[in-house]
Structures are given as C-alpha cells and as structure tokens.
Amino acid sequence: MSHQQFYQRIKSTFSIVFIFALLMSTLILTSIFLLDYIKPNGLMAVDNKDTLIINNVNIVSVITNQIVKNRQLVINKGIITAISETNSPITSIARVIDGKGAYVTPGLFDMHVHLYDRKYLMLNLAYGVTSVRNLNGKKMHLRWKQELQNDEWLGSNMYVSSPILAGVGTHVLNQQVLSPKEGRQQVREAQSKGYDLIKMYGYLSADIFEAIIDEAKNINIAVAKHGPHPAKGADWSNLKDLQSLEHVEDIFQGPLNYQFDHNKLQLIAKKIKALNVPIVPTLETFKHLTELSKNKDNFINTLSLDYLNPLHYDIESRFTVNRWLKDTSQQSAYHVKKLQFLLEIVKALNDHQVKILVGSDAGTMYTLSGIATHNEMQLLKQSGLSNFEVLKAATINAAQALEIDHEYGSVDVGKVADLILVTNNPLDDIGRLKSPFAVIKNGQWLDEAKLKALKISAKDNDNYFWSFINLVEDLLTRAIF
C-alpha cells in the first residue's frame, strides 16, 4: 500500500468516525430536548373533582395518640372541610363512601429516597406513601415535580434536593465542590433552579462545609446532611437547625469510630439532641445490605426486581450489589452485629427525645419504593419505638421538618386530604399500614382495585434508552452550568 493510499484510508476512516459521532450527538441532543414531552405508558390520571363524604371511620390522631371513633370526613377540592359524627346530614352533592369502620391516618412520608423513574412515585402511592423527599436531585426530578403540580399524572408528592454536594474524589453522579466560593455558588444555583433543599455529604473540607451551610441560611434554603456529625475540623454547632441528618450508620462510622461503645453513644445522642435537628436513620438500606451479604441470591430471588428501572438496575448490580454478594461468612456476621447496634443507636436517640423521621433510602441496592418505607417502619419498631412513635415519625414529624405541617401530617380540617384507610388499628400493629383498604391522594379515592392497578403499572417503567438520556442530561447540565 502506498503512502498516498494509507493516508487516504486514514482520512476516510476519520470522516466516517466524525459523521458517526455527529449523528450520535445529534440523536442525544434531540432526545434530551424531547424529554420534556416523552412520558412512559400507564400513568394514572388525576381525578379529584368529586366531593367525598366518607362515613363510619375512626380517625387516628398523630398528635394525641388517640382514636376518634365513628366519624364522617368531608373532602372538597382535595381539602378536608369537615369532620363530624357518622351519618351527619349531607348538604351538598357528593360521592358518599362507607368507610366500614376503617382507621384513617395521614399519608406516609418517606424522607430519604432515590428516584430513577416516574413509576417509583406511583409505587410509593400504592403503599400509602403519599409524599417523598428525593435526596439526589437531577433535572428530571424538577420536570416530574412540575408535572405532578400540573396534575398531569398521579403520584406521590415529591420534594427534591439539589444534586449531592461532595468533595474531592466523589463519583460522577454527585456535584464536586472544590472551594468555599464554589459551594456558595452551588447553593444559590440550586435555589434558582427550583430545588427544595440542599443535600451535602460530610466528606468536604471544613471551610467548604461551613460555607455551604452559611450560604443556605443566608438565602433561606434548607439543608439535609449525610451523616449526623460535622465535617472533619468543623464545629458541631454548624449542624444546628438543619432540616435533617441522614444515616445512623454514620454515627457508628464517624463519632464512634467503628466502636460498639454504648457509653460514648449516650454522649453523642445528647449532643445531637442539643442541635434540634431530626435524624433519618435509614436502617432498611443497611438491613438490605446485610441480607445481600448473608443470603445472597436466595434473598435477591425474594425481591420484585421488575419494579426497578432497567438502567439503574444494571448500575446497582455492577457497582453496589455485587460488592456485598462477595462477602465471606465472617463479614456477614459482622454486618449482623452492626445492624443490631444500629438499632441500639436509634433507641438511644429516641430515649434522648431526638426527633426521628422515616427514611428508607429506597432506590439503593434493589430496595423498592413503598415497600422499603414499611420495612423501615418495622425496623424503627424493633429499635424500641412504639407504634405511635413510628407513625409520628412517618407523618407529623416529617411535615414539621419540611415546614408544611399547616397543610399535611395529620387528619384535621383545613389540611390536604392525603390519607390512608386500613381495616384494623395501626396503633396496635404498625404493619397494618402496608395493606391499605384505600388511599386518598389530594381528595382522589383509590380503592384496592386502583391500588393494584398502580402496582401493575409501576412495572412498566422507562426503557433503557430514555433512562440513559436522562442520565446524560444530568451529566451535561452539571458540566455546562
């Protein structure tokens, strides 16, 4: 082959590669533009126009720990407008429903989830989780939030954090912050884009950590911090009055320095109580990890993995789950011991009257939306919380942390009708909330048939291509802006 022929072939190959790259870039950019218009099949419509009168129900008070029996609920335009005795006179045209002696509680909040698909919000709702707080926000979450607010489809309420602000060495799905100035800028940008709060890791230098919190306070946007302790070198006082602190596992890894130290735990619990900040234990994600480590594929086979978004199922399989499947029996035994100690940490916090919130970390390691929330509630019960305390953690405590308790969190006149109905008293067994008789979402009645339809539809989630485009959109948006 002559030099001229060789260079001509190189030129032709480069042209083909260039054209292919151009076509792929055009396809991706066009697809990103179309994300505002493309939605998966099977989204359920919002239909809350009816005035509802629900007779013969018992109201569970998450404020007083009492049952108010034989009540009639009137719901109009999504708001509870009256609570009176059963069979009180009806003065307007309404859909009348026999509650059959069911117990009514507020809808549940899961305060720590990771959402990778719209259908996760439908699955949450099917289990009575009417509100969630997503703690690694992306542009797609802001899009979904707007769609929900526009009543384009039916799903749980969603509160969205900023992308996770983290330090040197963090992975590509988080937002790396390298200076205090950049930290302040990220806080302002998150607020301007419509995120509800800032999510930050503790793996930041003290000056960046303090700058992020200070800027958030300056512009009045809430902060949730990974780990109930300050960044290395920073003072505990920086944590005061944050929206929440996440993961009791990080108490074990941080202040307790991996020691099963019960005496020091009491001191740490006392210090956290002084901060006036709620704790989100996320016990379920560690319990899940322990099951993967101990029982491996036998545990995985018990999970309904078809609820998982296909792209993020692959990501979790490759980068998270496989790690725990390789554990030895000695490592598994350590996880079992550590899980028991995490339950004791929660008990110590509760004994010191630290406010507890329910947060499952659903979306990690094959944990499933809605189901994980109820698993978390059971683990809080095992930690020593009463059924009433668990219900408070999943309802009014969360609403207070989000500063929306004037609208949500209890069954009261004037509040949004996000409610669960169950056939037996959940104050006797909190697990009864997992199988609702009905769910009411913003005044829309969802009976058992509709809840089943939500679960079925939740398996028909976004395909691999559109999930990949959402991921690319996130990477490009954060890289450019």
Q: What is the pLDDT of residues 69-96, one digit of tens each?
A: 999 999 999 999 999 999 898 877 889 9
Instruction: Parse the chain into domains and list their residue ranges.
Output: 107-416+447-458
For 66-75, the pLDDT digits (tens) are: 999 999 999 9
Task: Give the integer Cα–Cα distance in Å for 212 and 65.
Answer: 39
Please report, for residues 87, 422, 424, 438, the alpha-carbon distance to residue 429 in angstroms, rounded to integers and kept in the order given: 28, 11, 8, 17
**Through-space distance between the first and last CA atoms of the chain, rounded to whole angstroms:** 49
> Which CATH fold topology does 107-416+447-458 show?
TIM Barrel (3.20.20)
Q: Could you tell me which residue, 265 or 476, shows the higher pLDDT?
A: 265
Residue 15 confidence (pLDDT) above 60: no
Confidence of residue 43 (pLDDT cuts 50, 70, 90): very high
The per-residue pLDDT for 481 is: 53
Alpha-carbon distance of 459 to 445, in angstroms, equals: 22
Please answer whether residues 411 and 419 qualify as being in contact, where contact means their C-beta atoms are separated by less than 8 angstroms: yes
pLDDT in tens, 302-328: 999 999 999 999 999 988 999 999 999
What's the confidence (pLDDT) of residue 360?
98
Q: Can you say how many angstroms the Cα of residue 251 is from the centroid of all Cα atoms in its chain?
A: 21
Average pLDDT of 475-481?
A: 74
96-125: per-residue pLDDT in tens?
999 999 999 999 999 999 999 999 999 999
What digits encode the pLDDT tens for the residues 259-278?
999 999 999 999 999 999 99
pTM above 0.75, yes or no: yes
Whether 39 shows a pLDDT value over 90: the answer reads no
In whole numbers, what is the pLDDT of the chain averaged over residues? 92
Would you state the pLDDT for residue 6?
44
